[in-house]
Amino acid sequence: MNEDSIKNHLRQQKIETPSWGYGNSGTRFKTFPAKGAASTVWEKVEDAAFIHTLTGIAPSVALHIPWDRVEDYAELKKYAEDRGIQLGAINPNVFQDREYKLGSVTNPDQSVREKATRHLLDCVEVMKETGSRDLSLWFADGTNYLGQDDLRKRKRHLREALQKVHDALPDGTRMLVEYKLFEPAFYHTDLADWGLALTHCLAVGEKAQVLVDLGHHAQGTNIEHIVSTLLDEGRLGGFHFNARRYADDDLVVGTTNPLELFAIYFEIAQAQQDENEQLRKHTSEVAFMIDQSHNIEHKLEAMLQSVLNCQEAYAKALSVDFDLLKEAQEKGEVLKANRIVMDAFYKDVRPLLRDLREEMGVPVDPFQALEESDHLKKVLRDRQSTDTGGGFPS
């Protein structure tokens, strides 16, 4: 792909940042308050809009309900649009109410299951007001002990809830079904892996798609292989980007193994150029979203870094010589094929990205721009940072 073509692709790259990434977050041991962290959804939208002005490729913000609940979503929508961004995926929270201790839609208690399903359906209503295309579903549901509950019964309850939500979705919208190996459940998670998510999606209907969170896999899992499989099955809904070495560490994406992020974008870039039109269309609809927990970092700096790491990975992936690669693969030239891909990974795309940023009218050095910005000064001056405790009450 020539440089112009690479830039054209990069201009169309989109990364959605999450409202909760701008507020305080922590581990079960402690949530350290960060200076200038956002507290209200309005502040979070401001921060997301600011990241978009710095990068030009973060044009929407994901919401979390009820954390970001407002009286009037139209007002919030206008607030965002006035600042140059859209409201993105709606993320229902069915894990923090007392009733959800033993699960939400898989709870042994029918009234809890109904409450949870109602909340999901309420969020479908929110989507209509926010103009969101995606309902992003993550369930903390699972058990901690062998025998604690009936695995098949829970599976059926989950299926039932997903079906109801699916059938309530307006045309042109989707539900993204996220899976996770463990945490907060430690014996089994009802949606433990992509296989379970896909099985449910295939059963409930066309609007159900799988969401891949980079931190939700067992050690050793080849995530780009899952990405490739879901693309081929037409069921890759989107990503939650972050980085991890151990568990669901939720670090800045691309910091643990940048080659993995590159390999994911490499699968995307390949599918974008496939001769199959349906695959190309499907690929164009994938949602790229950040989902991280910035425990010790500056929130805005962390989000900026995350967005830029995605840009850099995509730029490298687009630089692969796909024709040469195909030839080496067909000849079975193992290391040569690998070298062709690695050549793109090792390419320094930063000069190209500087050019691109200039052309797009965003700051050439986004970190410097952040540091010198009025926005940063304002949030450090005006926002209170409050101690919010942790899992262990002191």
Residues 345-384 that bind a copy of itself (CB under 8 A): 345-348, 350, 367
Nearest CA-CA partner of 166 in 196, 137, 194, 132 = 137
Interaction residues for a copy of itself, span 39-78 (CB under 8 A):
66-67
- In this chain, which of 3, 125, 365, 387 binds a copy of itself, going by CB under 8 A? 387
SS3 string, 124-176, reads: HHHHHHHCCCEEEECCCCEECCCCCCCHHHHHHHHHHHHHHHHHHCCCCCEEE
Q: Which stretch binds a copy of itself (CB under 8 A): 8-16, 126-134, 169-177, 194-202?
A: 194-202
219-248: contacts with a copy of itself (CB under 8 A): 219-222, 224-225, 228-229, 231-233, 244-247
Those residues with Cβ within 8 angstroms of residue 334's Cβ, 6 or more apart along the chain or in another chain: none
Q: Which of 168, 318, 341, 356 binds a copy of itself (CB under 8 A)?
A: 341
Mask of contacts with a copy of itself, 303-322, x by CB under 8 A? --x------x----------
For the segment 15-44, give every residue that binds a copy of itself (CB under 8 A).
Answer: 20, 23-33
Nearer Cβ to a copy of itself (169/250) = 250
- Tell me if 280 contacts a copy of itself by CB under 8 A: no
Helix (H, G, I), strand (E, B) or coil at 237: strand
The correct pick among 72, 82, 125, 150 for binding a copy of itself (CB under 8 A) is 150
Query: Could you say whether residue 281 binds a copy of itself (CB under 8 A)?
Result: no
Helix (H, G, I), strand (E, B) or coil at 238: strand
Other C-beta atoms closer than 10 Å to the C-beta of 116 total: 25
Q: Which is nearer to a copy of itself, 196 or 376 (CB)?
A: 196
Residue whose entry in the numeric block shows the structure tokens 């190309």: 280
Q: How far apart are CA 286 and CA 275, in angstroms?
A: 18
Q: How far apart are CA 182 and CA 193, in angstroms?
A: 10
Please give the size of the binding site for a copy of itself, defined by CB under 8 A. 120
Closer to a copy of itself at the Cβ: 81 or 285? 285
- Of 154, 150, 151, 208, the closest CA to residue 178 belongs to 208
